[in-house]
Amino acid sequence: MKKIVVLGSINIDTILNIERLPLPGETMAMHDRSIAGGGKGANQAIAAARAGSETSFIAKIGKDHAADFMMDTFKNDGLNIDHVTIDDKAGTGKAYILLDEHGQNSILIYGGANQAVTTKDIDDAANAISEADCLIAQFEVPIPAITEAFKIAKENNVLTILNPAPAKQDIPAELLKLTDIIAPNETEAEAITGIKVVDEASMIAAADKMHEMGIEIVLITVGSKGSFYSLEDHSYGFVDAFKVKAVDTTAAGDTFIGYLASQLNKDLDNLVGAMRFANKASSITVQEKGAQNSIPYHNQVEF
């Protein structure tokens, strides 16, 4: 069984169902409203656990009802939550998701306790990181904490996966050099490289630029089309998505990351197969509304 550690965010998602995204200054009615557990870190940790990995989560929550709800969710999925700590000042993170009739979304984030994760929190979890097969992080927690975690991982030959979301420019070079696999979507790839990703040629150009930054493997997810990969030796390819009717794309990328990590061999010789399996899991996620409730279990992901 793979040992995976996820460093990341916990949010309570408020999902607002609308016909289309509003124009500037426009007032619109909602069709529906719902609340569910979310946060990129929590989603990816749950995906890894449901994929069959032994998963530990490093995160921070507030001292509120939302935190109790999330902790119960983590326990139900069998996550190790020894390093999910409470911040007395900030509330649990919140996300407000605008979801249109075609399943596309725009998301607004209140960081809350997620922004209170410190390097001390990471050092306290050093044993869990050093014993893992893979460490995953995203940008909904502070970069100094991510960098510290990746340093510990690399000192112990632990694979590091960075999901650079939300999109961020000027990522510290130190962090990029500690990253084995970077997995942006098209928007995030453009933010990192300045290259607009619209076709295979631009994907290759963006990947090459990320390789120059010190990253061995670049994966670019492109929604309903699938996922692109590029290796430092300039070999590359595309793994097609599974064609389904998308109801809600929330957590699709997080499902991909969690399932990918759960499948990867240490020498990465099964990268394409792991990506295909992760694509399949994501295709199930988009067929149901919500984030964590839509993430499938391993026995549901069949070819």
Binding-site positions read 11-13, 39-43, 140, 185, 221-226, 248, 250, 253-254, 279, 285, 288, 290, 294
* Helix count and strand count (H, E) for the chain: 10, 13
Told to judge if 68 belongs to the known catalytic residues of this protein, a careful annotator would answer no
| Helix (H) / strand (E) containing 87 | none
Q: Which of 199, 208, 254, 267 is catalytic?
A: 254
- Short-list 24, 21, 36, 43, CA closest to 98: 21
The binding site for substrate consists of 11-13, 39-43, 140, 254
- Cα–Cα distance for residue pair 14/72, rounded to 1 Å: 18
Number of CB atoms found within 10 A of residue 30's CB: 12
Q: How many residues does the chain have?
A: 303
Copy the structure tokens of residue 52.
């069959």
Question: What single letter denotes the amino acid at residue 78?
Answer: G
Copy the structure tokens of residue 203.
């994907």
Residues catalogued as catalytic: 254
